[in-house]
Structure 1
């Protein structure tokens, strides 16, 4: 018997900790199913960061998305001069989430803060407290084309100037459901040879997953056929699933690989205990 896990997300490059942690937890088949396409938009950021006067006076940066870090790593940092690159990597960088924080450190940022705050509202309070009376100039925030303005609005209410620059945009792929169904067919075919195995589907966001969620609701028998179980990341995604007739077996307490896999492992152990009794 083998365990399958399908992550409904783009695989982070060059390293995705969900894959690493899953293999360490003995998952024999780890798959990523991208639901959205990301397009880098580095031009405006490069215009600012290649302005030696601007970057010399810049002290604070906000980066809350791994997609922005990918844009920095692949499309921005390699084109900077050594001096510009060093000034950028020395900035105080505020972020949310350990995965994004780790990615920033791997890229080379030396002063990453706030990655344990959990959400934008708490990060805003942290930034205000951390900067304190030392605020001088402008805070540069790299964002996606679609974003919530919680951080910017809260900082501006406290008199902090925030300049937002779009570094990427996302578009939902048009064949998500077809690829998901094909993945399930492949797993079913494999089970005919290897014996029935548990298959976990991890949903990170409703974006791009709505047709898949609708399919799962309309075909409840598929869960029994494949021993398919649903896990999700975050209360917002959980609320969306519940509102749409899907009750996930596991909701990860934190948006991290170890938190997710520990929760799944705890669920599976509880199921074994229940069966024994």
Structure 2
């Protein structure tokens, strides 16, 4: 049983399987991770198959793919790649893939892709877009640039395609998954917070990864009495989430400089030492 003084880290995300690096990193540092899933994901294969069916030899005509979500990789692995021919799989895995964060980069590598760029060096979409522009507009590029394939979720931000479009780089966005909010997000969150009060733990962290599915939770957290009673601190993953929390009158005690478990836990430990 964990001690009453062990810090509990409430992660507002679906637990990644088979390994969730946030869980592993928390346990390595004697924090107790608690996952509260807020959304469910459904794979979408029609758009990808539609592109392959409507554009002859499409995979042969592109050299670069953008993947910024582990959900996209899951959709590829579970619903799209199994439908491809051996030749199509080989062609797909030969493409250069640009991605955000080390966790997604590792996931892509395990899927079979060979040339992965960005990852740890690209902490958000804006940085990744700048990296792509620098790579593809340099004099050393030898591969023909037709367009980039951007595999996305149904809900996404347009930072990357907008930046690339401004530099004359074409991007084709293809939806690979959709997300829906779960019905009982706030009830489950409040139950966890209530149990913290009863345990009289010294400090608890709520980690916000994305605005989606958090409306009632952020309304609750914006009431300072609740924060005081529950002894909660807020951590946000990246500047976009911080901005969302700011707009909802919630101050982030820490902002993870990169979207990965080590950066987050480093930031939390630095806060503890203040």
Do the two structures share a fold, i.e. TM-score over 0.5?
A: yes
Alignment of 1:122-137 (within 5 A): 122-132=127-137, 133=141, 134-137=143-146
Q: Which residue of 216, 219, 231 maps to 1:214? A: 219
Cα deviations by residue, 1:23-72 (Å, 9 ceiling, x for unpaired): 11111x31111112221101221344588822233311111122211111
From 35, 51, 66, give the equivalent of 1:32.
35
Q: In the alignment, is residue 233 of structure 1 matched against residue 242 of structure 2?
A: no
Aligned pair 1:153/2:158, yes or no?
no
TM-score (norm. length: structure 1)? 0.86
Moved more, 62-71 or 45-54: 45-54
Distance 2:220 2:109 in 1: 39
Ranges in structure 2 where 5+ consecutive residues have no aligned partner: none
RMSD value, Cα: 2.2
Structure 1 residue 82: Cα displacement: 2.6
SS in 2 for 1:83: helix
Cα distance in 1 for residues equivalent to 2:193 and 2:209: 18
Shift of 1:121: 3.1
Q: C-alpha distance in 1, partners of 2:245/2:133?
A: 34
Bigger fraction of residues in helix: 1
Moved over 6 A (4+): none
SS of residue matched to 1:242: helix
Q: Distance in 1 between matches of 2:42 and 2:250?
A: 31
Aligned to 1:144: 153
Give 1:18-57 correspondences, 5 Å limit.
18-27=22-31, 29-48=32-51, 53-57=57-61
Which residues in structure 2 correspond to 1:119-198 (within 5 Å)?
Answer: 119-132=124-137, 133=141, 134-189=143-198, 191=199, 196-198=201-203
Q: State whether residues 197 and 226 of structure 1, in contact with CA within 8 Å, keep that contact through their aligned partners in structure 2.
A: no
Equivalenced residue count is 264
- The range that moved more, 17-26 or 240-249, is 240-249
| Cα pair 1:48 1:55 within 8 Å, conserved | no
Conserved 8 A contact 2:126-2:159: yes
2:100 is the alignment partner of 1:108: no
1:12 aligns with 2:16: yes
1:86 counterpart residue number? 90
Cα shift at 1:168: 1.2
